[in-house]
C-alpha cells in the first residue's frame, strides 16, 4: 500500500507541477482551490498494485492550506527501480476532453523512473517526511510486497508555482505504473482547479 499511496500522491503532484523544474513561463499563484477530487483504479483485475481506499478533505482543498488524507492498498510484488509512470492529462474544453501534451515535464508525459524522482525529492539516507516516518512507511524504492495503511493524517500544502498554460478548469489524469516490462497498476484521478 505504501507504494500505492506514493503513486497516488505522485500522480496528484504531477498534475499540479510539484515535481517539475520551475521554467521561465511559470507563474506564482496566491491561492488554488482543488475541488471534486475523485479517484479509481483502472488496472487489470489481477493488477499487482491496487489502491483500496483514499480519502482527502476538505472539499475544496485550499493551496496553501491544510489537507487531511488516509489511504490503504496493497502490492503483490516488490517494486524496484526503474519504476516507470506514463501519465495522460486531459482538460475539458467546451464539453470535450483535450489531451495536454508534455510541456516542461508536466502534462501527458512518460517518467522513466519514479524511484529516481523520489530520490530527488527526499535524498537517500534522509528520514521520510511525516507522517510516513511515524507510521513506518518508506519513501524510497524498493517497496516490499504487502498490505499497508496510512491512518488519517494532516498535511500542509505550501504555495506553488504553476506553468502559465495550466488554467482553471476540469482535469482528469491517468497514470500507469510499470516495471520489468509489465503494467503493475493504474490509477485515474479527476479534479477541478480554480486559481486566484
The whole-angstrom separation of Cα 161 and Cα 5 is 24
Q: What is the structure's pLDDT at 18?
A: 40
Rounded to an integer, the average pLDDT of 132-140 is 87
**Domain spans of the chain, in order of start:** 2-195
CA atoms within 13 A on the CB side of 37: 21
Supply the pTM of this predicted model.
0.81
Rounded to an integer, the average pLDDT of 64-78 is 92
Tens-digit pLDDT profile for residues 172-185:
999 999 988 899 99
Single out the residue of 137, 162, 173 nearest to residue 3, CA to CA: 137
Rounded to an integer, the average pLDDT of 156-166 is 75
- When mean pLDDT is compared across 13-17, 147-151, 156-160, 164-168, the lowest value belongs to 13-17
Q: What is the structure's pLDDT at 7?
A: 47
Flag whether pLDDT at 15 surpasses 90: no
Query: Quick one: fold of 2-195?
Result: Ganglioside M2 Activator Protein; Chain: A, (2.70.220)
Q: What is the structure's pLDDT at 28?
A: 58
Single out the residue of 121, 94, 119, 89 nearest to residue 105, CA to CA: 89
Flag whether pLDDT at 168 surpasses 50: yes
Tens-digit pLDDT profile for residues 40-59:
999 988 999 999 999 999 99
Q: What is the structure's pLDDT at 164?
A: 66
Choose between 26 and 151: higher pLDDT: 151
Q: What is the structure's pLDDT at 61?
A: 92
Cβ pair 177, 184 in contact under 8 A:
yes
| pLDDT mean across residues, the chain | 84
Q: What is the structure's pLDDT at 77?
A: 94
Flag whether pLDDT at 84 surpasses 70: yes
135 exposure class (CB count in 10 Å sphere: 0-12, 13-18, 19+): middle
Amino acid at each position: 500500500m505504501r507504494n500505492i499511496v506514493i503513486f497516488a500522491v505522485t500522480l496528484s503532484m504531477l498534475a499540479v507541477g510539484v515535481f517539475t523544474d520551475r521554467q521561465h513561463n511559470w507563474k506564482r499563484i496566491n491561492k488554488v482551490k482543488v475541488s471534486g477530487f475523485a479517484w479509481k483504479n483502472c488496472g487489470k483485475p489481477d493488477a499487482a498494485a491496487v489502491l483500496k481506499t483514499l480519502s482527502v478533505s476538505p472539499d475544496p482543498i485550499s493551496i496553501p492550506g491544510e489537507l487531511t488524507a488516509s489511504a490503504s492498498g496493497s502490492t503483490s510484488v516488490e517494486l524496484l527501480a526503474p519504476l516507470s509512470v506514463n501519465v495522460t492529462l486531459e482538460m475539458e474544453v467546451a464539453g470535450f476532453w483535450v489531451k495536454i501534451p508534455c510541456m516542461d515535464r508536466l502534462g501527458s508525459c512518460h517518467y522513466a523512473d519514479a524511484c529516481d524522482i523520489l530520490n530527488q525529492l527526499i535524498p537517500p539516507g534522509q528520514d521520510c517526511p511525516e507522517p510516513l516516518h511515524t507510521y513506518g512507511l518508506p519513501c524510497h524504492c524498493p517497496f516490499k510486497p504487502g498490505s499497508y495503511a496510512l491512518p488519517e493524517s494532516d498535511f500542509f500544502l505550501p504555495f506553488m508555482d504553476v506553468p502559465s498554460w495550466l488554467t482553471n478548469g476540469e482535469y482528469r489524469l491517468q497514470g500507469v505504473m510499470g516495471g520489468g516490462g509489465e503494467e503493475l497498476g493504474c490509477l485515474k484521478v479527476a479534479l477541478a482547479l480554480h486559481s486566484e
